[in-house]
C-alpha cells in the first residue's frame, strides 16, 4: 500500500467513493456549481463537516518529495482526497473540469453535467420528473443559456419556429427547454415581469415564477429569450388566455373585456391582479440588459392572436 493509502487508513478517512457522492450532493446544494477549491476554502470544511471529521483528520499533512526541485512538499490529506474525488468524477463525465467550465461561465468552477445531475437525483432519491422544474445548473444547459444570452438581437425576428417538434422526447429538446427556463428566470432575476412577485421554495432554488412563452410553445413559439417573459403563475395564466398583453413600449395592456367582469373577480384578497394595470400606462419590469428584452415581433403576435381587444 502506498504511503498515502496507509495514512488514509490509519486516520480512518472516508473512502473515496463516499467522498465522490458527497461532492455530487454538495454540488446539488450549491445549484450545480462550486468554485475550484483550494485547501482551507469553505467547501472543503463543509464536506468535512458532513463526515464529522475531527481536527486531526482535517489537518493531517502528507509529505511528498517534489523530485524536480528535490524538496519536500506538504499537502493537506483531506483536501487531496477531495480533489482526487473531483478529478475522478470529471474522468467519469459526471462533472465538468474548471478549465472547461471557464469557457462558459468565465469562472474556474466544477459544474454538474447532465449525467452527474441524473446520478445526484438518484443518490438523493428525488424523482427524475422533478428535474425540469429545478434550476440546478448543468454544463450542457449552461452552454445553451450562454448562447441564448449572448446572441445578437435580430432586427427582424420571427417568433415562430415552424420546424419545431411539439412532441419531442429527445434529450436535446429537454436541454433546450431547461435552458429557456433558466435563461428567462436569470434575466428577470426570478421575479414576475408584471407584479414583481419573487419567491422560491424554502431552502431550494425552485422558483414560483415561470418562464412564459409570448408566442406559446403550442403555436411553435421559439424557445429563446426574445420570446420569453418571467411571470408569476396568476399573471402567466392571465397573459396566456388574453386578459393581459404588452404594447411595443412594454407598457401593460388590459383587455377592455375586463369591464364585463363582475367586481369580485380577479382579486387576491382585496387587491386586483388584472384591473390594477388598466389605470395608467404601467411598464413591465424589464431585464437591465436591453438585448434580453422581449421582441416587438413576438408582442405583436400576442396582441393580434391571443389578446382580447374587444369590450
Q: Is 197 in the site for Zn ion (CB under 5 A)?
A: yes
Instruction: Establish if 192 lies at the interface with Zn ion (CB under 5 A).
Output: yes
Contacts of 150 (CB under 8 A, 6+ apart): none
By the rule CB under 5 A, 104 interacts with Zn ion? no
| Minimum gap (Å) between residue 212 Cβ and Zn ion | 10
Cβ distance to Zn ion smaller for residue 7 or 276: 276
Q: Tell the burial category of 63 from Cβ atoms under 10 Å away from its Cβ (0-12, 13-18, 19+).
A: exposed
Q: Which stretch binds Zn ion (CB under 5 A): 10-18, 19-27, 62-70, 232-240?
A: 232-240
Measured distance CA(222)–CA(177) in Å, rounded: 10
Q: Identify the H or E element spanning 35.
A: strand 33-35
Which strands form 95-96's sheet, in the order they lie side by side? Answer: 33-35, 109-112, 95-96
Q: How far is the CB of 289 from Zn ion (least distance, A)?
A: 21
- Does position 232 bind Zn ion by CB under 5 A? yes
Nearest CB to Zn ion, comparing residues 29 and 198: 198
Which of 27/232 has CB closer to Zn ion? Answer: 232
List the one residue from 78, 180, 194, 239 that touches Zn ion (CB under 5 A).
Answer: 194
| CA nearest to 32, candidates 208, 189, 151, 178 | 178
Nearer to Zn ion, 83 or 194 (CB): 194
Q: With CB under 5 A as the rule, give the number of residues binding Zn ion.
A: 6
For the chain, helix, strand, coil in percent to 5 are 45, 15, 40
Q: Which positions lie near Zn ion, rule CB under 5 A?
A: 192, 194-195, 197, 232, 235
Amino acid at each position: 500500500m502506498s504511503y498515502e493509502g496507509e495514512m488514509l487508513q490509519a486516520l480512518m478517512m472516508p473512502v473515496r467513493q463516499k467522498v465522490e457522492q458527497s461532492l455530487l450532493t454538495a454540488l446539488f446544494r450549491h445549484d450545480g456549481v462550486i468554485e475550484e477549491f483550494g485547501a482551507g476554502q469553505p467547501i472543503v470544511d463543509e464536506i468535512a463537516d458532513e463526515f464529522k471529521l475531527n481536527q486531526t483528520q482535517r489537518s493531517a499533512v502528507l509529505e511528498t518529495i517534489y523530485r524536480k526541485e528535490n524538496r519536500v512538499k506538504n499537502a493537506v490529506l483531506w483536501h487531496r482526497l477531495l480533489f482526487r474525488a473531483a478529478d475522478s468524477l470529471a474522468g467519469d463525465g459526471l462533472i465538468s473540469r474548471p478549465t472547461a467550465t471557464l469557457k462558459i461561465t468565465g469562472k474556474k468552477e466544477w459544474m454538474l453535467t447532465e449525467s452527474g445531475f441524473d446520478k445526484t437525483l438518484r443518490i438523493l432519491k428525488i424523482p427524475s420528473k422533478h428535474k425540469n422544474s429545478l434550476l440546478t445548473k448543468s454544463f450542457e444547459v449552461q452552454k445553451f443559456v450562454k448562447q441564448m444570452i449572448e446572441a445578437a438581437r435580430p432586427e427582424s425576428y420571427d417568433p415562430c419556429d415552424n420546424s419545431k417538434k411539439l412532441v419531442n422526447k429527445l434529450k436535446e429538446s429537454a436541454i433546450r427547454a431547461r435552458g429557456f427556463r433558466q435563461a428567462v428566470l436569470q434575466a428577470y432575476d426570478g421575479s414576475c415581469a408584471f407584479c414583481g412577485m419573487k419567491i422560491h421554495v424554502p431552502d431550494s432554488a425552485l422558483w414560483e415564477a415561470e418562464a412564459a412563452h409570448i408566442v406559446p410553445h403550442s403555436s411553435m413559439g421559439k424557445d429563446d429569450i426574445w420570446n420569453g417573459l418571467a411571470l408569476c403563475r396568476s399573471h402567466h395564466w392571465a397573459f396566456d388566455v388574453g386578459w393581459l398583453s404588452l404594447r411595443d413600449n412594454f407598457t401593460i395592456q388590459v383587455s377592455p373585456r375586463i369591464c364585463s367582469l363582475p367586481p369580485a373577480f380577479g382579486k387576491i384578497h382585496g387587491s386586483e391582479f388584472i384591473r390594477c394595470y388598466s389605470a395608467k400606462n404601467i411598464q413591465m419590469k424589464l431585464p437591465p440588459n436591453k438585448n434580453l428584452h422581449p421582441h416587438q415581433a413576438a408582442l405583436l403576435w400576442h396582441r393580434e392572436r391571443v389578446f382580447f381587444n374587444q369590450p
